[in-house]
Amino acid sequence: MQIALYPRDLFDFIIADPNLFPAAQQVTQYQDYVGDSALRMMWVVANSASVQAATTAAQKRAAKRTEFDGMRQWITASVYFDGIDDNFVQATAVPTLGPVTQMIAGSARFAEVQDALMVDEIVALAATAVFRKDWPVLRATGVVFAGYGTSEYFPHLVHYR
């Protein structure tokens, strides 16, 4: 699966000091991660080799379903982060996903897979995926060194991923 090529263990969902990160900000960040994960899942499904090789609408629909089911199996086989389980996700996280479901349902990416998948199942899988060790959430990470040298008029920077 293409999804397995993403970097691993980059989870940074904030379950930290509530004074630094208020609950509303934690919910917003979680919703962003779920939306991003759902969009990536749909892209992987729609652009998989088996879907691209299918020639009829029925074959494409079946290939999308097979790809998504394989992704679900891979994600659910991964372990949760410490302190997280299905009960936590269902009781705490899933109730906040209304805006994410609406956004995904109206996306062009969902239009590519809606013949085979339902928006609720995509968002539900994404909701659990972001709490799993093998599912990365960050788009990219790195280090930047920026500043003025001894003779520069403008700052320079070096970025390492």
pTM of the model: 0.71
Q: Are 131 and 34 in contact (CB under 8 A)?
A: no
Supply the range of the domain harboring residue 88: 2-160
CA distance 74 to 72: 5
Taking 90 as the threshold, does the pLDDT of residue 26 lie above it?
A: no
CA distance 32 to 45: 20
Percent of the chain whose predicted confidence (pLDDT) is above 70: 76
Counting the structural domains of the chain, the total is 1
CA distance 145 to 21: 26
Q: Are 5 and 78 in contact (CB under 8 A)?
A: no
Q: Are 45 and 125 in contact (CB under 8 A)?
A: no
136-157: average pLDDT: 67
Q: State the residue for tokens 């991003």.
A: 36
| Span 77-108, pLDDT tens digits | 999 888 888 998 888 888 888 999 999 999 99
φ, ψ of residue 81 in degrees (nearest 5): -65, 155
User: In 3-state terms, what secondary structure has residue 21?
Assistant: coil
| Span 44-83, pLDDT tens digits | 999 999 999 999 999 999 999 999 999 999 999 999 888 8
The H or E element containing residue 92 is none
